Chains A and B, each alone.
Chain A
Amino acid sequence: DQQVKQNSPSLSVQEGRISILNCDYTNSMFDYFLWYKKYPAEGPTFLISISSIKDKNEDGRFTVFLNKSAKHLSLHIVPSQPGDSAVYFCAASISANTGNQFYFGTGTSLTVIP
């Protein structure tokens, strides 16, 4: 059962415009959400995260929005640059007393067109 879903496998955006990547989840126990970026032949790289007690977190060109009632989060990249072209994974975690369990989406491939 896929508890974290990224329903758009791919997205193309013009350079300079906004990229919006979406993610939906089903488990209300998730207390932390993260976005990772992955280039071919490399491991994922952490991008930005948000705690479930917040609804927005911003880091430079990257902003993550969390809508807990809709169980939805999104990553906004403004302005988009060609170097942002990569696969973006949404992830969610449940923090237990002893360790974390992580759940990843299937990824969205972003292409930023120069």
Chain B
Amino acid sequence: DSGVTQTPKHLITATGQRVTLRCSPRSGDLSVYWYQQSLDQGLQFLIHYYNGEERAKGNILERFSAQQFPDLHSELNLSSLELGDSALYFCASSVVSVGTNEQFFGPGTRLTVL
């Protein structure tokens, strides 16, 4: 158990809908990262938050947004969903923003868009 929790574990929805994925980092970790893993793809880095502030952006679509709250949990919002958004979404946390690169991953949320 990494100490990172993600909810829900599975999510099935329809095209055009909007969903919210939730992540609680390990106790004491200030950084939260979001990743997308599509079928046969590696993990694609989406976004990095540190202590409530956005710190780095990867290949995140404009239809996707994220935030990190004062209690350090984070939410990834996916809107106008398309079939191609079906994927595993992982959240990871680490202690600091820069300089340590070990991340602790949650178990992931499997999103299926029908």
Interface residues, chain A, with chain B CB atoms under 8 Å away = 2, 4, 6, 32, 34, 36, 41-46, 49, 89, 91, 93, 95-107
| Contact B101–A34 (Cβ < 8 Å) | yes
Q: Complex: how many Å from CA A102 to CA B41? A: 15
Chain A residues lying within 8 Å of B42, measured Cβ to Cβ, are 2, 4, 6, 89, 104-107
Minimum C-beta distance from B94 to chain A (A) = 9
User: Which B residues fall within an 8 A CB radius of A?
Assistant: 2, 4, 31, 33, 35, 40-45, 48, 50, 55-56, 58, 90, 92, 97-99, 101-108
Q: Is the CB of A102 within 8 A of B107?
A: no
| Residue pair B45, A103 in contact (C-beta under 8 Å) | yes
Q: Hey, which chain A residues are within 8 Å of B41, CB to CB?
A: 106
Residue of A at shortest CB range from B92? Answer: A43
A46–B43 CA distance with the chains assembled, in angstroms: 14
Q: By CB atoms of chain A within 10 A, which of B33, B98, B99 has the most?
A: B98
4 additional A-B pairs beyond A43-B105, A99-B48, A101-B58, beta carbons within 8 Å, are: A89-B42, A95-B101, A101-B56, A104-B35
Q: B33 contacts which chain A residues (CB < 8 A)? A: 102
Question: Which of chain A's residues has its CB closest to B41's CB?
Answer: A106
Bound Cα distance from A32 to B55, whole angstroms: 18
- Assembled-state Cα–Cα distance A101/B81 (Å): 25
Q: Please, which residues of chain B bring their CB within 8 A of the CB of A106?
A: 40-42
Q: Which residues from B are CB-within-8-Å of A105?
A: 42
